[in-house]
């Protein structure tokens, strides 16, 4: 039987200390439920009494099926008894299954931050943990700055842990609070500690200030720690905490350890990571280990050729194990294998020795040289390929457009710039002309185009432009430079798709990317019968 490692999520507490993150109660409830459903053992919900959000969350926390809800707080204030410390009372009064109290374990911190004698801090820890244990049944001690403290004064750091243990703490959590300790030091120190306090009662809490939080946590587990703290996507104070989304598959799939997360739970990891990004209104990190879009994306021709033979040639695990999937990318680094694989994924049937494949590879490389970037615009590649094979219906035809920008003073004496686009389009054999205003030329063009197209293709009503990026490709040409426009679009019935346009004229490049975006949407949702008569 593999060793059991307990997973402790602090997204809602240390994660809330991330610059730019501000959870509401609804966010906390949704995230706590998702963590519970995935199989996390402990969900630290926040610090009751520290702010109104956490106060409200702990007044009516979500019912969790199996995870234990943990309230965070600190040891009692010097000069107060545990019964007479309103801060500690608030922590313990909230509805929770366990309490985790942070306390000093570095003599330097006791002198500087608390300004009290070393013995008094030991007393704070003992009293507070004993009280939390009595009130909650399960108490944990977060030994703040444990590794710095152990290096400076190992006897004192150990005395802090032992005070917590003797007062009834279920877990003594060794914190690399400043995140400056390296994996070999963590492993050696945890091994020494585990010689005196059994690993089954030791936890690890690492910060990522040297980009080693995950490696440090794994090192601690190797040395015997059996509770691992971390956050979704590595949120947390300063550079963040150990990223549980990377840690969990490494613990389970690489180290063969048992956690509360079964095979189904592992498959939820990609979704769990995305859920947090959605809550924070952030774009997912494409390059995130295990769960990023690029984690199993193959670009180099040599890689793809081998992956097509057996994915294990360039994949450390099967992406499906963590709910991710493989992507084959076409770009100027591609060979025939990339193109064939992408065509197959897009459902385009073609004989592998069809000469059109080699032509397509050459076209991609030439167009990338001209500025196109198909590795970020898979929808434009699919359209390019289908056009080369004569398989893209023409849903609408642009007969021309004119865009005017006007900068003027408005009635409130403010300087404003307005754009106006006139567009001529043929749909279903009928010629249309529309005019639209916008807050910029691309917005005016988009609005004018939609005015004509939405009545003919109602599916476009729900299509949204979610990202628009312009890049100057030849800066040496200054204002005459070639520009590349990348557009990302979304529709409730489709996965997001990206398109690209290139021109010396930024409006022209934008139109080309927009045209591809709309055509792709119609190709997927409107059917070929709707094409131009
Ligand atoms: C390593 C970590 O990440 S621990 C978690 C850190 N998270 C947070 O701080 C977020 C939530 N914190 C807060 O909302 C506030 O800091 C509160 C409500 C907890 C306290 O606010 P305030 O009473 O205004 O105190 P303030 O934050 O200025 O200072 C902290 C006080 O706690 C004391 N303190 C720090 N750690 C401990 C401890 N483990 N035990 C007892 N007292 C402590 C400090 O010495 C300081 O006391 P002082 O004001 O007498 O100097
Ligand atoms: C407790 C905690 O968050 C730390 O020491 O980093």
pLDDT digits (tens, 9 = 90+) for 138-157: 999 999 999 999 999 999 99
Q: Which ligand is nearest to the CA of 50?
A: 1
Distance CA 22, CA 45 (A): 14
- pLDDT at residue 475 in the model: 78
- pLDDT at residue 527 in the model: 64
Q: For residue 2, name the pLDDT band (cuts at 50, 70, 90).
A: low
Distance CA 353, CA 335 (A): 13
Task: Tell whether the model's pLDDT for residue 315 goes beyond 90.
Answer: yes
- pLDDT at residue 455 in the model: 94
17 Cβ closer than 6 Å to some ligand 1 atom: yes
- pLDDT at residue 307 in the model: 96
C-alpha 223 – ligand 2 centre gap (Å): 20
Task: Tell whether the model's pLDDT for residue 269 goes beyond 80.
Answer: yes
Task: Tell whether the model's pLDDT for residue 424 goes beyond 90.
Answer: yes
Read off the pLDDT of each residue in 312-332 and give the average, rounded to a whole number.
95
Task: Tell me 235's DSSP state.
Answer: -
Read off the pLDDT of each residue in 336-348 and give the average, rounded to a whole number.
89
C-alpha 195 – ligand 2 centre gap (Å): 23
Distance CA 494, CA 1 (A): 44
Task: Tell whether the model's pLDDT for residue 28 goes beyond 50.
Answer: yes
CA 191 to chain centre: 33
CB atoms within 10 A of CB 282: 12
Mutate to test the pocket of ligand 2, among 16, 109, 142, 145 (most ligand atoms within 8 A of CB): 142
102 Cβ closer than 6 Å to some ligand 2 atom: yes
Sign of the C-alpha dihedral, residues 382, 385, 390, 396? positive
Phi, psi of 321 (to 5 degrees): -60, -30
Q: Of 174, 233, 240, which is closest to residue 210 (Cα–Cα)?
A: 240
- pLDDT at residue 389 in the model: 85
Of the chain, the percentage scoring pLDDT greater than 70 comes to 98
pLDDT digits (tens, 9 = 90+) for 207-230: 999 999 999 999 999 999 999 999
pLDDT digits (tens, 9 = 90+) for 345-390: 888 889 989 999 999 999 999 998 888 989 889 999 999 999 988 8
Q: For residue 472, name the pLDDT band (cuts at 50, 70, 90).
A: confident
Mean pLDDT computed over every residue of the chain:
94
Contact 364, 358 (CB under 8 A): no
Of all atoms in ligand 2, which is nearest to the CA of residue 175? 5
Task: Tell whether the model's pLDDT for residue 482 goes beyond 90.
Answer: no
Task: Tell whether the model's pLDDT for residue 528 goes beyond 70.
Answer: no
Q: For residue 391, name the pLDDT band (cuts at 50, 70, 90).
A: confident
Read off the pLDDT of each residue in 478-491 and give the average, rounded to a whole number.
89
Of all atoms in ligand 2, which is nearest to the CA of residue 173? 1
- pLDDT at residue 342 in the model: 87
Strands 42-46 and 6-9: parallel
Distance CA 161, CA 442 (A): 62
Distance CA 370, CA 488 (A): 21
C-alpha 291 – ligand 2 centre gap (Å): 26
| Alpha-carbon dihedral angle through residues 442, 446, 449, 454, given to the nearest 10 degrees | 180
pLDDT digits (tens, 9 = 90+) for 240-259: 999 999 999 999 999 999 99
177 Cβ closer than 6 Å to some ligand 2 atom: yes
Strand partners of residue 468: 487
Of all atoms in ligand 1, which is nearest to the CA of residue 177? 1
C-alpha 22 – ligand 1 centre gap (Å): 19
Read off the pLDDT of each residue in 170-186 and give the average, rounded to a whole number.
98
C-alpha 44 – ligand 2 centre gap (Å): 12
- pLDDT at residue 530 in the model: 45
- pLDDT at residue 125 in the model: 98
C-alpha 380 – ligand 2 centre gap (Å): 47
C-alpha 175 – ligand 2 centre gap (Å): 6
Read off the pLDDT of each residue in 86-115 and give the average, rounded to a whole number.
98
Residue closest via CA to ligand 1's atom 20 equals 50
Residue closest via CA to ligand 1's atom 22 equals 50
Phi, psi of 465 (to 5 degrees): -90, 115
Domain ranges of the chain: 6-261, 297-370, 397-530
∠ Cα 90 91 96 (to 5°):
120
Q: For residue 471, name the pLDDT band (cuts at 50, 70, 90).
A: confident
- pLDDT at residue 532 in the model: 41
Strand partners of residue 400: 424
Of all atoms in ligand 1, which is nearest to the CA of residue 104? 39
Query: Would 6-261 and 397-530 be classified into the same CATH topology?
Result: no
Of all atoms in ligand 1, which is nearest to the CA of residue 103? 39
Of the chain, the percentage scoring pLDDT greater than 90 comes to 83
Task: Tell me 62's DSSP state.
Answer: P
Task: Tell whether the model's pLDDT for residue 293 goes beyond 70.
Answer: yes
Of all atoms in ligand 1, which is nearest to the CA of residue 114? 45
Phi, psi of 453 (to 5 degrees): -80, -35
Element counts in the chain: helices (H) and strands (E) = 18, 16
**Most trustworthy range by pLDDT among 464-468, 470-474, 489-493:** 489-493
Would you say the ipTM is above 0.95? yes
CA 90 to chain centre: 32
Cβ neighbours of residue 108 under 8 Å, at least 6 residues apart? 148, 149, 152
**CATH topology for 397-530?**
Double Stranded RNA Binding Domain (3.30.160)
pLDDT digits (tens, 9 = 90+) for 300-311: 999 999 999 999
What CA–CA distances, in Å, run from 119 to 87, 143, 163, 328, 514? 22, 16, 11, 61, 69
Task: Tell whether the model's pLDDT for residue 516 goes beyond 90.
Answer: yes
- 435: exposed, middle or buried (Cβ count in 10 Å: 0-12, 13-18, 19+): middle
Task: Tell whether the model's pLDDT for residue 404 goes beyond 50.
Answer: yes
Superfamily of domain 6-261: Aldolase class I (3.20.20.70)
Q: Of 136, 135, 162, which is closest to residue 150 (Cα–Cα)?
A: 162
Distance CA 241, CA 369 (A): 41
Task: Tell whether the model's pLDDT for residue 1 goes beyond 60.
Answer: no
Task: Tell whether the model's pLDDT for residue 492 goes beyond 90.
Answer: yes
- pLDDT at residue 477 in the model: 79
173 Cβ closer than 6 Å to some ligand 2 atom: no
10 Cβ closer than 6 Å to some ligand 2 atom: no
- Three-state secondary structure call for residue 372: coil
Strand residue runs (E) in 130-226: 139-144, 171-176, 202-206
Contact 130, 164 (CB under 8 A): no
Q: For residue 531, name the pLDDT band (cuts at 50, 70, 90).
A: very low
Task: Tell whether the model's pLDDT for residue 160 goes beyond 60.
Answer: yes
Q: Which ligand is nearest to the CA of 75?
A: 1
């Amino acid at each position: 039987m593999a060793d059991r490692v307990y997973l402790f999520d602090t997204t809602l507490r240390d994660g809330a200390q991330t610059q730019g993150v501000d959870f509401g109660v609804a966010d906390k409830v949704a995230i706590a439920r998702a963590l519970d459903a995935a199989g996390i053992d402990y969900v630290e919900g926040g610090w009751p009494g520290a702010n109104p959000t956490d106060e409200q969350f702990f007044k009516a926390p979500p019912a969790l099926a199996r995870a234990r809800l943990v309230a965070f707080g600190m040891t009692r204030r010097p000069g107060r008894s545990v019964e007479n410390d309103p801060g500690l009372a608030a922590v313990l009064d909230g509805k929770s299954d366990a309490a985790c109290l942070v306390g000093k374990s570095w003599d330097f911190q006791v002198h500087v931050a608390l300004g009290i004698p070393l013995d008094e801090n030991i007393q704070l820890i003992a009293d507070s943990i004993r009280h939390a244990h009595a009130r909650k049944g399960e108490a944990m001690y977060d030994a703040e700055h444990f590794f710095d403290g152990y290096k400076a004064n190992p006897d004192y750091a150990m005395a802090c842990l032992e005070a917590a243990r003797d007062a009834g703490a279920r877990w003594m959590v060794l914190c690399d609070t400043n995140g400056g300790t390296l994996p070999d030091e963590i492993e050696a120190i945890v091994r020494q500690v585990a010689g005196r306090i059994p690993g089954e009662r030791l936890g690890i809490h690492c910060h990522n200030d040297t980009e080693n939080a995950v490696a440090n946590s794994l090192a601690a587990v190797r040395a015997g720690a059996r509770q691992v703290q971390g956050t979704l996507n590595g949120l947390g104070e300063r550079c963040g905490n150990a990223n549980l989304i990377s840690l969990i598959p490494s613990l389970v799939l690489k180290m063969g350890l048992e956690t509360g997360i079964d095979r189904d739970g592992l498959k939820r990891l990609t979704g769990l990571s995305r859920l947090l990004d959605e809550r924070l209104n952030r774009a997912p990190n494409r390059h995130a280990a295990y769960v990023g879009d690029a984690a199993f994306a193959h670009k180099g021709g040599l890689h793809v050729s081998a992956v097509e033979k057996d994915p294990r040639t360039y994949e450390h695990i099967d992406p499906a194990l963590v709910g991710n999937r493989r992507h084959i990318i076409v770009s100027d680094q591609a060979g025939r294998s990339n193109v064939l694989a992408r065509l197959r994924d897009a459902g385009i049937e073609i004989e592998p020795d069809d000469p059109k494949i080699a032509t397509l590879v050459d076209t991609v490389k030439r167009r990338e040289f001209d500025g196109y970037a198909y590795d970020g615009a898979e929808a434009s590649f699919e359209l390019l390929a289908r056009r080369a094979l004569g398989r893209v219906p023409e849903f609408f035809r642009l007969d021309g457009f004119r865009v005017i920008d006007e900068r003027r003073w408005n009635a409130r004496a403010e300087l404003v710039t307005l754009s106006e686009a006139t567009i001529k389009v043929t749909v279903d054999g009928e010629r249309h002309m529309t005019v639209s205003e916008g807050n910029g030329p691309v917005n005016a063009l988009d609005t004018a185009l939609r005015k004509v197209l939405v009545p003919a293709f109602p599916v476009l009503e729900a299509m949204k432009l979610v990202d628009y990026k312009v890049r100057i490709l030849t800066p040496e040409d200054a204002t005459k430079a070639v520009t590349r426009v990348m557009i990302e679009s979304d529709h409730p019935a489709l996965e997001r798709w990206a398109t690209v346009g290139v021109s010396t004229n930024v409006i022209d490049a934008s139109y080309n990317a927009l045209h591809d975006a709309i055509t792709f949407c119609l190709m997927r949702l409107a059917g070929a019968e709707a094409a131009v008569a």
